[in-house]
Chains A and B, each alone.
Chain A
Amino acid sequence: MDEKLRGKLVDVLGKRLNRQLLYYLDICARCSICKDACHQYTTTKDVQYLPAHRAELLRRVYKTYFGWASKLVPALYEGKQIDDDFLDELYKATYSCTGCRRCMVYCPYGIDTTQILAVAKEILLAAGKGPELLAMLADVAIEKGENIDLFKEAIIATLQETEKELQEKVGDPKASIPIDKEGADILYVALAGTHTIIPAAIVFHLAGVDWTLSMFEAANYGYFLGDVAKAKAIAQRIVDEAKRLHVKGVVLAECGHAYRVMKVLQEVWAQEKYPFEVSSILQVVARYVEEGRIKVDPSRIQGSVTYHDPCQIGRNGGIFEEPRNVLRHICSDFREMTPNRERNWCCGGGGGLVAQPDLEEFRMRTGERKAHQIRQTEAEIVVSPCENCRLQIEGLNERYGLGVRVSSLMDVLVQALGPVVTPVSDLVPVEVG
């Protein structure tokens, strides 16, 4: 590696050293209590996945270049130079992490390993070593934002089909999927495909909500990539759309990272205050159910149900009770996983891992904790309001022979809406009793 690039990479690190990061880099005692918190370390026993070790890689570089005492005797800290071997090791430790932040819960100091890995990602990207697939997916999303007029016709054409499907389901030819509607109360941001559009459209129709569908997908590959500029541009498409339409609130489909990006990160990245509320569809439907705005018939969901807290929705997003409240209304046998809520085990598919085919075997292996947890509940249906989690749990279901049905919350909710709606789940067929 030439000195110029090395200097540039050290610069990337230096520019990112905010106060919290300095704390994290300075105080870790390497007690490695985090090892038992990480699903990847506990299932592989491979030290490169031990959270403290992942962070230590960057810390060793930090010690070499920053702080006069450690620069004096870098050997005390096994100080490392940035070179190609280091970057390869860093890549493995960084892009394998699902970013679940379970280690942060158990760390006596509360060190946020993902913050350290975020800097590692920026260094890797600056060295041209980011995962190409994630970068490509991010670029496609940004391009769509820049040329939305070219896409609009096609979106509207597709939606006509989806709208017909909706009208059949609810038995009302006037039911619609509005798009680009100014002054609507809600801008609903779905995922790619129609499986998160139809259930939401049914609920909005039955609850008489004034809503409009976003032309963009919620998913943000820029965030997984760790490229803040790209992540920001992708999220900004939705912010701009919401501002243009003067909606009161942006509601995100069942997607973990999209919720965290919009709720927690984007406002800080863009340094602006949203003129609208951001919520998850989970919070919205929980309110409708509680208020009786939509009528549910619990007898329609047969079988025991358990709930998987997606890391970005629960621990990192703060939504624990709303989906549980909905489930308690619509099913008679609800079971908690152990542990749950902020202590829940990561499914193993987060952080963009699901989108990277070369990590599939690793995902399945490190999902063993989740598989075990699901099996222990002896539940028949696993509900999880995150697409990544669902795809991963589907995989685990097959790999570990769990024999469960995996569903989004909206799909089970729609089934509990009574005879007016026929089942819609095209992601996973759920039996109706």
Chain B
Amino acid sequence: MDWFSYLVAGVMVYVAVVVFVLGMAYRFYQWAKVPKTSVRLAVFPKPANRAAKWFVAVKNALIFPQVIEVDPKMWLFSMLFHLGLLGAFVGHLRLLHEFTPLVGALGSEGMERLSFWGGSTMGIVLSVAVVYLLVRRMKSPYKDVSVPEDYILLLLILAVVTMGNHLRFFGDVPTADYRAYLQSLLAFKPAFPAALAASSIKSALVLHVFLANLLLIYFPFGKLVHVVGTFATNLVRSD
């Protein structure tokens, strides 16, 4: 691993994970240290019991069905965007550890096919969704409500996804090599396997990792905390 790759795809990854974990812990602490208002902020009708309250909150946080009524297009793209992110995240887990039961069911060739089609679909869906969100935000009234953070995050995600797509569509590196790289990270001995280090997409990978690091580092400090906060506020809605 050359020194630049080592810095970005090695050291910086650890820094990003640490900042993310500590930052989120700090955010939770900030939320937890101030008391809740005792005023009941619910909108009626309220769920009948505790279980129903949690069910409704989780449903609203994950699907927000009421949005379909007022802005179906935004709902659709928001769903595609978030599902794309989730799909991409889950797909990357395969690089940490192969989904062995799936390989058992599909065979190793079938698994590669699933990975290719799944990953490609997620990559394209995500790109389209991010572009939609970006274009939407450039128009009034969304433009007037937006702040630089909103654009920067969308552009950052778009860049991460674009580099990811580049690796998938133009890369010639087998899954096993990516897995070897991630295993080396887990072992605290970051290194690229020879084939990856010599590959033409090495710099694209380093850039992909760099941008993802930035996203992770920024995560606790801006609006991305809605990913966890939404469960809390959706519970408040039935308080």
With A20-B236, A320-B44: A106-B70 Cβ-Cβ less than 8 Å:
yes
Q: Is the CB of A108 within 8 A of B141?
A: no
With A101-B43, A104-B237: A18-B148 Cβ-Cβ less than 8 Å:
no
Residues of chain A within 8 A (CB-CB) of B69 are: 106, 343
The answer to the question of A109 belonging to the interface, with a C-beta cut-off of 8 Å to chain B, is yes
Q: Is the CB of A18 within 8 A of B70?
A: no
Minimum distance in angstroms from A35 CB to a CB of chain B:
6
Partner of A342, one of B31, B45, B144, B145: B45
User: What are 29 contact pairs spanning A and B, CB under 8 A?
Assistant: A19-B34, A22-B30, A23-B229, A27-B233, A29-B223, A29-B226, A30-B150, A45-B141, A50-B141, A50-B144, A50-B145, A70-B222, A75-B148, A76-B147, A76-B222, A77-B149, A105-B43, A105-B66, A106-B66, A108-B230, A109-B234, A110-B236, A112-B236, A115-B37, A264-B40, A265-B39, A316-B43, A316-B44, A318-B45
Q: Measured between alpha carbons, how far is A22 from B120 in the docked complex, in Å?
A: 38
Residues of chain A within 8 A (CB-CB) of B223 are: 26-30
With A27-B229, A32-B145, A106-B69: A268-B38 Cβ-Cβ less than 8 Å:
yes
Tell me if A's interface is mostly helix, strand, loop or mixed.
helix
Contact with B along A106-120 (1 / 0, CB 8 A): 101111100100000
8 A Cβ contacts from B26-74 to A: 27, 30-32, 34-41, 43-46, 60-61, 64, 66-67, 69-71, 74
Q: Measured between alpha carbons, how far is A50 from B144 in the docked complex, in Å?
A: 10
Q: Is the CB of B145 within 8 A of A47?
A: yes
The answer to the question of B142 belonging to the interface, with a C-beta cut-off of 8 Å to chain A, is yes
Q: Measured between alpha carbons, how far is A20 from B37 in the docked complex, in Å?
A: 7
Minimum distance in angstroms from A170 CB to a CB of chain B:
35
Q: Measured between alpha carbons, how far is A45 from B221 in the docked complex, in Å?
A: 32
Residue of B39, B78, B237 with most chain A CB atoms under a 10 A cut-off: B39
With A32-B142, A36-B71, A45-B141: A76-B149 Cβ-Cβ less than 8 Å:
yes
Number of A-B contacts (CB under 8 A): 151
The answer to the question of A78 belonging to the interface, with a C-beta cut-off of 8 Å to chain B, is yes
With A18-B34, A20-B233, A108-B64: A342-B148 Cβ-Cβ less than 8 Å:
no
A residues near B, CB below 8 A? 17-24, 26-33, 35-37, 41, 45, 47, 50, 52-53, 56, 60, 67, 69-70, 75-78, 101, 104-106, 108-112, 115, 264-265, 268, 314-318, 320, 341-343
Q: Is the CB of A19 within 8 A of B31?
A: yes
Tell me if B's interface is mostly helix, strand, loop or mixed.
helix
Residues of chain B within 8 A (CB-CB) of A320 are: 44-45
With A18-B37, A23-B232, A27-B230: A35-B225 Cβ-Cβ less than 8 Å:
no
Smallest CB gap from A269: residue in B: B39
20 extra A-B contacts, CB within 8 A, seeds A32-B141, A76-B222, A316-B44: A18-B35, A19-B35, A20-B37, A23-B236, A26-B27, A27-B226, A28-B226, A29-B223, A30-B146, A32-B142, A47-B145, A77-B147, A101-B43, A106-B66, A108-B78, A108-B230, A109-B230, A110-B233, A315-B43, A342-B44
Partner of A36, one of B31, B70, B225: B70
Smallest CB gap from A45: residue in B: B141
Minimum distance in angstroms from B48 CB to a CB of chain A:
12
User: By the criterion of a CB under 8 Å from any partner CB, how many residues of chain B are at the interface?
Assistant: 49
Partner of B147, one of A30, A37, A104, A318: A30
Smallest CB gap from A315: residue in B: B43
Q: Measured between alpha carbons, how far is A19 from B35 in the docked complex, in Å?
A: 6
Q: Measured between alpha carbons, how far is A78 from B144 in the docked complex, in Å?
A: 11
Residue of A32, A53, A115 with most chain B CB atoms under a 10 A cut-off: A32
8 A Cβ contacts from B85-120 to A: none
Residues of chain B within 8 A (CB-CB) of A31 are: 74, 78
The answer to the question of B152 belonging to the interface, with a C-beta cut-off of 8 Å to chain A, is yes
Q: Measured between alpha carbons, how far is A69 from B222 in the docked complex, in Å?
A: 8
Minimum distance in angstroms from B34 CB to a CB of chain A:
5
Smallest CB gap from B230: residue in A: A109
Q: Measured between alpha carbons, how far is A60 from B37 in the docked complex, in Å?
A: 22
Residues of chain A within 8 A (CB-CB) of B225 are: 26-27
Minimum distance in angstroms from A93 CB to a CB of chain B:
12
With A23-B229, A106-B67: A317-B148 Cβ-Cβ less than 8 Å:
no
Smallest CB gap from A54: residue in B: B145
Residues of chain B within 8 A (CB-CB) of A24 are: 233
Residues of chain B within 8 A (CB-CB) of A78 are: 147-148
Partner of A264, one of B34, B39, B221: B39
Residues of chain B within 8 A (CB-CB) of A101 are: 43
Smallest CB gap from B152: residue in A: A76
Residues of chain A within 8 A (CB-CB) of B32 are: 19
Q: 6 closest Cβ contacts across the A-B interface?
A: A110-B237, A27-B229, A318-B44, A69-B221, A108-B64, A27-B226
Residues of chain A within 8 A (CB-CB) of B237 are: 104, 110
Smallest CB gap from A42: residue in B: B70
Residues of chain A within 8 A (CB-CB) of B40 are: 264, 268
With A76-B222, A78-B147: A33-B230 Cβ-Cβ less than 8 Å:
no
Smallest CB gap from B140: residue in A: A47
With A19-B36, A115-B41, A315-B44: A52-B147 Cβ-Cβ less than 8 Å:
no
Residues of chain A within 8 A (CB-CB) of B145 are: 30, 32, 47, 50, 52-53, 56
Q: Is the CB of B233 within 8 A of A109?
A: yes
Minimum distance in angstroms from A225 CB to a CB of chain B:
17
Q: Measured between alpha carbons, how far is A197 from B13 in the docked complex, in Å?
A: 71
Q: Measured between alpha carbons, how far is A37 from B234 in the docked complex, in Å?
A: 17
With A20-B41, A53-B145: A37-B70 Cβ-Cβ less than 8 Å:
yes
Q: Measured between alpha carbons, how far is A31 from B60 in the docked complex, in Å?
A: 16
Residues of chain A within 8 A (CB-CB) of B71 are: 33, 36
Q: Is the CB of B34 within 8 A of A17?
A: yes
8 A Cβ contacts from B150-188 to A: 150, 152
Residues of chain B within 8 A (CB-CB) of A318 are: 44-46
Q: Measured between alpha carbons, how far is A104 from B66 in the docked complex, in Å?
A: 11
Partner of A22, one of B31, B41, B147, B230: B31
Q: Measured between alpha carbons, how far is A78 from B222 in the docked complex, in Å?
A: 13
